[in-house]
């Protein structure tokens, strides 16, 4: 009886928590893109293959801006590799954008960390489209309709990011 | 003998378990430590964003030479008015660019270095750039303290910016 009575309250609290997390993530980019359509990106990846963000509609996309000189980025990336393997069957697609000036440095790290997702070379235009990428790392979670549902900047609690990602994969 | 082996084993295990706590750098073995941390810069040499913005806005007075020693892409997105890109301080090629830029200047010239690529405690660029200028004899070098990054601590504060390379 007590369990039945507590159930809905727990569910409500859990739903509130998920909504709060998805809406109020640690965003501090110069212009928030939350609840807006993710700006279109068409670039070539490090292997020369064309990557069009629009083609990922129907999938949950984790879009990560990084660079080889960014220490917090390199803490995150092995987690992304694991998530891409674990959650790919549930519809996750990870895309990296290197903000390095020299693609060779990005290519070296790509190989060293054995990244299992496409990485494109970014530029100031892409940074501006995404609200001003003026510090790294920056990560966006984009739902299956192409809407930005969460964004993270700087050193981030990766367990919290994973929880938000899992919630989004449940309701893409 | 067996007790000795057991004891040594336990000590080794305790040291292994405690090492990430006692020596935090061991907790992140995949991350290369920057050659010189931003923490190596004396507090007296730091300048706060508000103070630099005021300095740049002031009319008449001689402006400092503001040099960004991090990412060229981030510089192109936004930088303080009049700032110049001087190469990433964490790389030898960047240090060479910086040296070339300032070589002919008076050693008394006020120079402000900044990066803002990452949180201050993670920035690999400002420490080596600052050390280089001091080594060259510059005695009026300040480093812009950006706790989080250039976006959060400068652009979002509403301070003046320019775009372009």
Instruction: Report the CATH number at residue A84.
Output: 3.40.30.10
Quick check: B26 pLDDT over 90? no
All residues of chain B having their beta carbon less than 8 Å from the beta carbon of residue A70 are: 117-118, 122
Handedness of CA A48, A54, A55, A56 (dihedral sign): positive
Asked if A30 lies within 8 A of B76 by C-beta distance, the reply is no
Same domain, B122 and B152: yes
Same domain, B144 and B78: yes
Kindly state the average pLDDT of the residues B136-150: 97
Same domain, B39 and B111: yes
All residues of chain B having their beta carbon less than 8 Å from the beta carbon of residue A135 are: 74, 116-119, 148-152
Give a yes or no: residue B139 inside a domain: yes
CA–centroid distance for A23 within its chain: 15
B83: left (phi over 0), alpha (psi -120 to 50) or beta: beta
| Helix axis angle, A71-87 to A158-170, nearest 10° | 30
Measured CA distances, B9 to B17, B26, B27, B67 (Å): 12, 20, 21, 53
Could you give the CA distance from residue B90 to residue A68 in angstroms, rounded to a whole number? 11
A44 backbone dihedrals φ, ψ, rounded to 5°: -90, 140
Same domain, B44 and B21: no
Same domain, B58 and B105: yes
> Which of B 11-70 lie inside 8 A of A, CB atoms?
28, 30-32, 34, 70
Could you give the CA distance from residue B158 to residue A4 in angstroms, rounded to a whole number? 52
Same domain, B36 and B114: yes
Give a yes or no: residue B165 inside a domain: no
Same domain, B70 and B100: yes
Is residue B148 within 8 angstroms of chain A, CB to CB? yes
Give a yes or no: residue B164 inside a domain: no
Closest-CA residue in chain A for B74?
A134
**Domains held by chain B: number:** 2
**Domains held by chain A: number:** 1
**How close B6 comes to chain A (CA, Å)?**
35
| Helix axis angle, A158-170 to A2-23, nearest 10° | 110
Neighbouring residues of A85: CB distance < 8 A, sequence distance ≥ 6:
A116
Same domain, B69 and B145: yes
Say if residue A69 is exposed, middle or buried (CB neighbours under 10 Å; 0-12, 13-18, 19+): buried
Same domain, B40 and B71: yes
Quick check: B51 pLDDT over 80? yes
Look up the domain containing A31 and give its range. Answer: 2-170
Q: pLDDT band at residue B5, thresholds of 50, 70 and 90?
A: low
Asked if B118 lies within 8 A of A71 by C-beta distance, the reply is yes
Same domain, B9 and B37: no
Closest-CA residue in chain A for B124?
A69
Give a yes or no: residue B68 inside a domain: yes
Neighbouring residues of A94: CB distance < 8 A, sequence distance ≥ 6:
A61, A62, A63, A64, A80, A83, A84, A117
Could you give the CA distance from residue B124 to residue B113 in angstroms, rounded to a whole number? 13
Residues of A with CB under 8 A from a CB of B: 28-30, 67, 69-72, 74-75, 78, 99-101, 113, 122-124, 127-128, 132-136, 153-155
Same domain, B48 and B104: yes
Q: Is the ipTM, as predicted for this complex, more than 0.90?
A: no
More confident residue, A71 or B51: B51
Same domain, B105 and B123: yes
**A60-114 pLDDT per residue, tens:** 999 999 999 888 999 999 999 999 999 999 999 999 999 998 899 999 999 999 9
Say if pTM beats, i.e. exceeds, 0.80: no
Give a yes or no: residue B143 inside a domain: yes
Q: What angle do CA B110, B127, B76 make, to 5 degrees?
A: 70
**A115-166 pLDDT per residue, tens:** 999 999 999 999 999 999 999 999 999 999 999 999 999 889 999 999 999 9
Look up the domain containing B47 and give its range. Answer: 32-157
Measured CA distances, A53 to A32, A117, B122 (Å): 19, 13, 30
């Amino acid at each position: 009886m007590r369990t039945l009575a507590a159930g809905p309250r727990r569910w409500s609290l859990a739903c509130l928590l998920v909504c709060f997390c998805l809406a109020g993530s640690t965003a501090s980019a110069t212009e928030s893109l939350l609840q807006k359509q993710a700006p279109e990106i068409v670039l070539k990846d490090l292997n020369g293959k064309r990557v069009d963000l629009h083609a990922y509609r129907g999938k949950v996309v984790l879009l990560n801006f990084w660079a080889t000189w960014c220490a917090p980025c390199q803490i995150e990336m092995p987690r992304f590799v694991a998530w891409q393997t674990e959650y790919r069957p549930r519809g996750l697609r990870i895309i990296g954008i290197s903000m390095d000036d020299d693609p060779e440095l990005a290519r070296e790290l790509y190989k060293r960390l054995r990244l299992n997702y496409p990485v494109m070379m970014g530029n100031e235009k892409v940074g501006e489209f995404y609200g001003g990428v003026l510090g790294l790392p920056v990560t966006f979670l984009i739902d299956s309709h192409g809407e930005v549902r969460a964004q993270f900047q700087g050193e981030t609690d990766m367990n919290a990011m994973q929880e938000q990602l899992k919630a989004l994969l449940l309701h893409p | 003998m067996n007790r000795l082996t057991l004891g040594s084993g336990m000590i080794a295990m305790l040291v292994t378990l405690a090492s990430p706590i006692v020596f935090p750098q061991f907790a992140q073995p995949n991350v290369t430590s920057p050659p010189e941390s931003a923490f190596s810069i004396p507090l007296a040499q730091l300048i706060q964003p508000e103070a630099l913005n005021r300095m740049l806005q002031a009319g008449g007075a001689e402006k400092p030479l503001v040099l960004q020693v991090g990412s060229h892409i981030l510089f192109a997105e936004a930088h303080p008015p009049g700032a110049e890109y001087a190469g990433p301080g964490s790389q030898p090629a960047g240090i060479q660019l910086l040296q070339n830029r300032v070589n002919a200047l008076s050693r008394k010239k006020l120079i402000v270095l900044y990066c803002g690529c990452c949180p201050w405690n993670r920035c690999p660029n400002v420490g080596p750039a600052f050390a280089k200028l001091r080594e060259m004899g510059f005695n009026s070098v300040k480093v812009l303290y950006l706790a989080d990054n250039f976006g959060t601590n400068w652009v979002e504060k509403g301070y003046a910016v320019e775009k372009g390379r």
